[in-house]
Amino acid sequence: MSRVYKSIITIADRFVPGSMRPMWEHPAGPKTIFFWAPAFKWGLVIAGLGDLNRPVESLSIRQSASLAATGIIWSRYSLVIIPKNYSLFAVNVFVACTSVYQLSRAYMYHRDQEKLKQAPAQ
> Could you tell me if 53 and 85 lie in one domain?
yes
What type of residue sits at position 39? A
- Both 107 and 60 in a single domain? yes
Query: Do the domain assignments include residue 93?
Result: yes
Residue 48 lies in a domain: yes
User: pLDDT at residue 101 above 90?
Assistant: yes
Q: Is residue 26 part of a domain?
A: yes
Quick one: pLDDT band at residue 107, thresholds 50, 70, 90?
very high
Residues 91, 71 share a domain: yes
pLDDT digits 0-9 by tens, 17-71: 989 888 888 887 888 878 888 899 999 999 989 989 999 989 889 999 999 999 9
Same domain for 69 and 27, yes or no, is no
List the one residue out of 99, 70, 75 whose CA is nearest residue 87: 75
Output the CA–CA distances (angstroms, integers) from residue 30 to 35, 46, 84, in the order listed: 5, 21, 15
Residue 120: pLDDT above 80? no
Residues 50 and 26 in one domain: no
38-76 b/e (C-beta count within 10 Å ≥ 16 → b): beebeebbeebeebeeeeeeebeeeebeebbebbbebbe
- Sequence-distant (≥ 6) Cβ neighbours of residue 23 within 8 angstroms: 29, 30
57 shares a domain with 114: yes
Q: Domain span at residue 111?
A: 42-118
